[in-house]
């Protein structure tokens, strides 16, 4: 079984963590492990990590802790299936049916296979840069096991499939939002009947710099991210909008949330409720791809 190395909890910039009942504190370039000076700490199995004062999470695998760049660096080595279970648990709405969970598991596995070694000596981090993880819930574990080794291929090669929360009624193509990923899947704009019927319209108004950014790069993901960084992540919910000039700036009316590329979580949950299989759901959002078993 494939093993991956993930840098965990780096967003918390930990100086001290408790692993089960062992207190590990950074001291200079070394660790203090329950009063003993050590260069690193290694543990295997299932463990609970607590970061003061009230954050705790359980992981399974091998954990190595060292001191790096003035904080503790925690590297978890885990099996692919354990990570997929954790991703599916983090990314799926509570009431999602097995077909949607399994489709999300295949997306996650394809993404993991195509995204190895993003960080040099480890594969991934657990921030939005790479991938959020949660403690694996039982339905996530089942979805990972039911889809073991299944990946999405485009022109015979694995790729890192994009997904977002809700496309708002129609997914985007990579070209439409200026998404550059050389040689990867181009993404096609497909209708998403569940979002079309159920996603409420949102309205936003932009003037000054925000309007200038949108006039220069309308509908682009780069513009959406730039506005998000400047004005907050709800400034522009999605790339699915109509844009009109008004006397005091730009008026946007849109639907959905997220970049709108590829797999739509809300739409997939709806297709699963209509009885569609994981393969049918994936073929809908990723036209032209195949699902294959790859060791």
132 binding Zn ion? (CB under 5 A): no
Residue 191: CB minimum distance to Zn ion, A: 9
**The binder of Zn ion chosen from 6, 85, 101, 125 (CB under 5 A):** 125
Which tokens hold the place of 289? 């791809």
Instruction: Name every residue whose Cβ is closer than 8 Å to that of residue 8 and which is 6 or more positions away in sequence.
Output: 49, 59, 74, 75, 76, 126, 133
Residue 33: CB minimum distance to Zn ion, A: 27
264 binding Zn ion? (CB under 5 A): yes
114 three-class SS: helix
**The binder of Zn ion chosen from 4, 9, 112, 167 (CB under 5 A):** 167
Q: Between 130 and 141, name the residue whose CB sits nearer to Zn ion.
A: 130
Question: What is the footprint of Zn ion within residues 189-218 (CB under 5 A)?
Answer: 192, 195
- Exposure of 244 by Cβ count < 10 A (0-12 exposed, 13-18 middle, 19+ buried)? exposed
Q: Between 86 and 250, name the residue whose CB sits nearer to Zn ion.
A: 86
- Exposure of 42 by Cβ count < 10 A (0-12 exposed, 13-18 middle, 19+ buried)? exposed
Q: Between 97 and 141, name the residue whose CB sits nearer to Zn ion.
A: 97
130 binding Zn ion? (CB under 5 A): yes
Q: Between 6 and 24, name the residue whose CB sits nearer to Zn ion.
A: 6
The region of 56-64, 175-183, 211-219, 265-273 touching Zn ion under the rule CB under 5 A is: 265-273
236 binding Zn ion? (CB under 5 A): no
Percent helix, percent strand, percent coil in the chain, to nearest 5: 30, 35, 35
Q: Between 48 and 274, name the residue whose CB sits nearer to Zn ion.
A: 274
Instruction: Return d(Cα 238, Cα 264) in angstroms, integer.
Output: 12
The region of 29-37, 77-85, 143-151, 266-274 touching Zn ion under the rule CB under 5 A is: 266-274
Name beta bridge partners: 66: 73
Instruction: Return d(Cα 293, Cα 141) in angstroms, integer.
Output: 18
Residues that bind Zn ion (CB under 5 A): 125, 129-130, 167, 192, 195, 264, 267
């Amino acid at each position: 079984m494939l093993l991956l190395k993930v840098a965990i909890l780096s967003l918390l910039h930990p100086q001290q963590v408790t692993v089960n009942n062992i207190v590990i504190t950074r001291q200079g370039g070394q660790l203090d492990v329950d009063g003993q000076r050590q260069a690193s700490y290694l543990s295997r199995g299932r463990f609970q990590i607590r970061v003061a004062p009230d954050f705790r999470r359980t992981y399974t695998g091998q954990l190595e802790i060292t001191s790096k760049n003035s904080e503790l660096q925690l590297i978890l080595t885990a099996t692919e299936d354990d990570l997929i279970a954790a991703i599916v648990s983090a990314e799926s709405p509570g009431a999602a049916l097995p077909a949607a969970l399994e489709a999300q598991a295949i997306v996650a596995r394809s993404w993991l296979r195509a995204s190895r070694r993003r960080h040099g000596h480890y594969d991934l981090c657990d921030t939005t840069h790479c991938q959020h993880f949660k403690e694996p819930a039982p339905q996530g574990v089942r979805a990972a096991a039911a889809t073991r080794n299944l990946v999405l291929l485009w022109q015979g090669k694995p790729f890192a499939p994009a997904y977002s929360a809700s496309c708002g009624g129609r997914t985007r193509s990579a070209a439409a939002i200026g998404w550059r990923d050389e040689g990867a899947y181009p993404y096609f704009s497909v209708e998403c009947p569940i979002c079309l019927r159920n996603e409420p319209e949102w309205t936003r108004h932009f003037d000054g710099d925000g309007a200038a950014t949108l006039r220069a790069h309308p509908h682009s993901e780069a513009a959406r991210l730039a506005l998000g960084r400047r004005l907050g992540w709800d400034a522009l919910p999605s790339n699915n909008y109509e844009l009109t000039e008004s006397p005091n700036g730009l008026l946007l009316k849109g639907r959905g949330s997220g970049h709108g590329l590829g797999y739509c979580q809300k739409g997939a949950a709806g297709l699963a409720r209509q009885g569609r299989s994981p393969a049918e759901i994936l073929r809908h959002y990723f036209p032209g791809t195949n699902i294959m078993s790859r060791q």
